[in-house]
Structure formats: C-alpha cells, structure tokens
C-alpha cells in the first residue's frame, strides 16, 4: 500500500465544510423518550387509582387528626406568633406529603426489575438511560404537586385564610427541592436493593416516620432535647418546613429571614435554600453514577 503524501492530504482539506452543522435530533429523541416513559407511568397510575386516592387522603388525615388532637395547644408559649396548632402544623404536612410521595418514586423501577420489564427498556435503543430518572421524577412531581394543592385548598377551607400567589409559589418551589432530593434517593435505593420487600422495609418502616419525628413538622426545635435538635438540623425536611412556615407567618419575609436559631448556628432562608440545592446536586450525581456503574 502506497503512503499518501502531504500534498494529497492538503487537497482533501477542500472537501471539509467550513461550518459545523449541529443537529437537535438527540434532544428531540431524548424528550420523546421521557414523554413515552412518563405516559407509561401515568397509565400505571390510571389503572391503579386506589393508590393515588390513598396517597391524597393520607396527608389530609394527618392534618385533620393531629390538628384536632392538639387544637388547644398554646402555640404562642414557644413561638412568637399567636396561632393555632393547625396553622403551625400545615407546613409540616405539606413537606411530609412531598417526602412521602417522593420516597415511593423508585417503586415502579424495582417492580420493573422484578418482572423483567427494566431489561427490555434498557435493551431498547435508548439515547440516554438517565431518561428513566427524569421520567420518574417528573411523574412523581406532578402527582405530589396535585396533592399539595389539595392540602392548601383544604387549609383555606379550614382556616379561612387566603394563600397569596407568592406563598403558593414558595410552597411549590421548596416542595420541588424536597421531591427531587428524595426521589433521587428512592431511585438509587431501587437500583441497589434486591427487591421490593427490602425497599418497603427501608422506606416505609425505617426512614418514613423517624424522618418525620426528627424534624420540626410536629414541634419546634425549642421543644426538643439537644441530641434531637442536632439530628433535626441535619434533616433537610427541617429547612424546607421552616422556610414555608416563615413565609406564611412573617409579613416582611425575605432571603435574610432567620429560619433556625440555635446555640450552635443561625440559618436564614438563603442558606437553607443553598443547603437544599447542594443536597439535590449530590443526590442526583449519586443516582446518575449508580446507573452508569450497573448498566453501562
């Protein structure tokens, strides 16, 4: 075989295009994949309406029963606001609803693993396997947001106080940070745990209620012993609950409004949002890497 000299190589440079044409086909296919997977998840929800109804009724029962149980609690003794316990409880129920729904985001994946559908999805010509994560998160976010709007409407009916547009946006945005964070953890658990029994044992029995009671959803930090205050300050639900609670109670609510004030540190709204964003980034990177490690 003869070697091609430099003059011949230079002559081929004339065939090189001057401009690089970029195609958006990959993005279109990725969005189509996500749309198809979301439609599949909604079809499963449509065929099992009982799970959706129960997930909507459960937080309303928490709100109704806990609010009735402690309706005569003198909340003004340990807070700077003369409010009823039901009003104090509302932000905690909103965030716990987002947490409770997001922790089950990985259930469709783990059932697909057990029944063999996940292998079919992965062997199909997917452009990006991360579309599995995006579709589960979007599906969980829309259902959970519907539940949260239902709780807010129920609160308006009970208390008679109208929620402003800014308060509604804060509720949705902060809840979104919790939903994406917990959904990433749930999807990560669905890929590494052997089956749905272990998944339900981890989420429903070991994580669900301890995470609720180790936050400020049911009681403020001043009611807790020092060791529980430390755990509560590590819990991301605490920051989300306190941001929503302060937005509902403070008239001059801003990014510099203090949400956590202990003997160790003082956290304002801006720092709380940054902590939630950082946790979202770390959890999302973790679940992306576990998918690449197991299936690439």
**Domain map of the chain by residue range?**
35-295
**Over residues 94-106, mean pLDDT:** 83
Percent of the chain past pLDDT 70, that is, above it, reads: 79
Cα–Cα distance measured from residue 188 to residue 178, given in angstroms and rounded to the nearest whole number: 15
Say what the pLDDT of residue 80 is: 63
pLDDT of residue 234 exceeding 50: yes
Give 217-226 pLDDT, tens digit per residue: 888 887 888 8
Percentage of the chain beyond pLDDT 90 is 0
Measured CA to CA, the distance from residue 131 to residue 40 in angstroms comes to 13
pLDDT of residue 1: 47
**What confidence score (pLDDT) does residue 14 get?**
55
pLDDT at residue 290, rounded to an integer: 73
CB contact at 8 A, 165 and 75: no
CA 121, CA 2: separation in Å to the nearest integer? Answer: 48
CA dihedral sign, ordered 136, 138, 139, 142: positive
Closest CA to 184 of 148, 150, 133: 133
* The pair of three-digit structure tokens given for residue 293, joined into one six-digit string: 């490690």
Contact 107, 196 (CB under 8 A): yes
pLDDT tens by residue, 128-183? 777 777 888 888 888 888 888 888 887 777 767 777 788 888 888 888 888 888 88
Q: What's the pLDDT tens digit per position in 47-64?
A: 777 777 777 777 677 767
Mean pLDDT computed over every residue of the chain: 76
Q: Averaged over 192-199, what is the pLDDT?
A: 78
Is it the case that residue 26 has pLDDT exceeding 70? Answer: no
Instruction: Give the H or E element holding residue 259.
Output: strand 258-261
Task: Write the CB contacts of 235 (distance below 8 Å, at least 6 apart in sequence).
Answer: 211, 214, 215
The pLDDT of residue 293 is 67
Q: Are 169 and 223 in contact (CB under 8 A)?
A: no
| Residues 100, 94: Cα–Cα separation, whole Å | 10
Give whole-number Cα distances, 187 to 32, 53, 128, 240, 269, in Å: 21, 23, 16, 21, 28
**pLDDT reported for residue 86:** 76
Torsion angle defined by CA atoms of residues 282, 245, 176 and 158, in that order, rounded to the nearest 10 degrees:
150
């Amino acid at each position: 075989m003869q070697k091609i000299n430099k003059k011949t190589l230079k002559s081929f440079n004339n065939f090189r295009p001057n401009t690089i044409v970029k195609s958006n086909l990959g993005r279109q296919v990725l969005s189509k994949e996500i749309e198809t997977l979301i439609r599949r998840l909604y079809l499963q929800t449509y065929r099992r309406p009982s799970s959706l109804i129960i997930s909507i009724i459960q937080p309303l029962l928490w709100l109704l029963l806990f609010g009735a149980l402690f309706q005569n609690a003198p909340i003004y003794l340990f807070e700077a606001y003369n409010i009823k316990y039901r009003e104090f409880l509302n932000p905690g129920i909103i965030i716990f609803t987002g947490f409770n729904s997001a922790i089950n985001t990985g259930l469709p994946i783990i059932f697909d693993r057990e029944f063999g559908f996940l292998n079919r999805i992965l062997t199909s010509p997917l452009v990006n396997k991360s579309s599995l994560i995006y579709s589960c998160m979007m599906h969980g976010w829309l259902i959970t947001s519907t539940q949260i709007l239902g709780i807010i409407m129920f609160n308006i009916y009970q208390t008679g106080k109208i929620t402003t547009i800014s308060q509604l946006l804060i509720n949705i945005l902060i809840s979104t940070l919790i939903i994406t964070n917990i959904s990433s953890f749930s999807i990560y658990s669905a890929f590494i745990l052997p089956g749905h029994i272990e998944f339900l044992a981890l989420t429903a029995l070991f994580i669900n209620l301890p995470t609720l009671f180790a936050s400020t959803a049911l009681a403020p930090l001043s009611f807790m012993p020092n060791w529980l205050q430390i755990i509560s300050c590590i819990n991301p639900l605490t920051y989300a609950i306190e941001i929503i609670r302060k937005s509902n109670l403070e008239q001059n609510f801003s990014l510099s409004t203090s949400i956590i004030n202990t003997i160790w540190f003082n956290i304002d709204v801006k720092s709380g949002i940054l902590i939630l964003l950082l946790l979202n980034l770390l959890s999302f990177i973790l679940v992306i890497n576990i998918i690449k490690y197991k299936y690439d």
